[in-house]
Amino acid sequence: MKALLIVGSPHEKNSTYTALSKAASGLEDNGVETQTIWIGDDPIKPCTACGSCAKTQRCIFGDDDVVNELIDLIQRSDGLIIGSPVFYAGINGSLKAALDRVFFAASSSFAFKPGASLVCARRGGSTSALDQINKYFLISQMPVVSSMYWPMAFGQNPEQVAQDLEGMDVAYQLGANMAWLLKSLEAGRQQGIKPSVIANRNWTNFIR
Ligand SMILES: Cc1cc2nc3c(=O)[nH]c(=O)nc-3n(C[C@H](O)[C@H](O)[C@H](O)COP(=O)(O)O)c2cc1C
């Protein structure tokens, strides 16, 4: 059983990474392997809405940056935690560009994989950033994992984030809760429990 953790900061190993590492400990201490990937600090092209991913579940530009690698890694993982620094009360712009393309291309293949969000801020804007990440899960039939507080940590560098003791506990519990859910889902699968998906869904675009 494996969970993927995405570091959505332009900093490879700073605040966001520190908080995600705690979540990774919560997963690993409860028997789930983890893999952490950094989105890097190169520019990431936004979605151009070309629609070519509809047939391939891959982004046509995705081999030029981290996007198709992210798609492959998420598809091969049982659970996903997306971490972001808070930038102007939202997620980092490069992460937003990457997630739009990842989810637009391949979200149907992520259905029923648990997802969790974790954000890191100096001071404010965390709830709207969390909300932004959760929106990708909520439109993709991905169960959203929670913790005992909203998964956010405060600080501008790893030392400050480590001093946010409650934030660190919340991040650890987030990982532990994902491990519990992954094991519960596996037990359910072994019992033959499958999701029930409606056939022929409506698609209306509000045109009457
Ligand atoms: C462009 C930019 C915008 C930011 N906006 C906010 C903000 O809205 N609220 C906040 O508390 N911190 C804000 N910060 C600070 C970062 O969220 C904070 O330093 C965080 O720890 C960075 O995480 P990282 O080191 O993993 O990138 C901003 C930083 C940058 C560079």
- Mean pLDDT along residues 137-157: 98
| 9: its two tokens | 């900061």
Q: pTM, whole model, 2 decimals?
A: 0.98
Cβ–Cβ < 8 Å for 36, 25:
no
Could you give the CA distance from residue 70 to residue 102 in angstroms, rounded to a whole number? Answer: 7
8 A C-beta contact, residue 32 and residue 79: yes
Is-contact 118 82, C-beta < 8 A?
yes
What is the whole-number distance in angstroms between the Cα of residue 7 and the centre of ligand 1?
14
Nearest atom in ligand 1 to the alpha carbon of residue 15 is: 26
Are residues 140 and 130 in contact, defined by beta-carbon separation less than 8 angstroms? Answer: no
Question: In the chain, what percentage of residues exceed pLDDT 70?
Answer: 100
Instruction: Output the ligand 1 site: residues, CB below 6 A.
Output: 9, 11, 14-16, 85-89, 120-125, 155-156
- Nearest CA residue ID for atom 3, ligand 1: 87
Q: In this predicted model, what pLDDT tens digit does every residue of 47-68 receive, in sequence order? A: 999 999 999 999 999 999 999 9
Average pLDDT, the chain: 97
Taking 3-state DSSP, the helix, strand and coil percentages for the chain, each rounded to the nearest 5, stand at 45, 15, 40
pLDDT at 63: 94
Half-sphere exposure of 97 (CA within 13 A, CB side): 18
Task: List the domains of the chain with CATH numbers.
Answer: 2-190 (3.40.50.360)
CA of 94 from ligand 1 middle (Å) equals 13
Amino acid code (one letter) for 74: I
Phi, psi of 99 (to 5 degrees): -65, -35
Mean pLDDT, rounded, for 149-157: 98
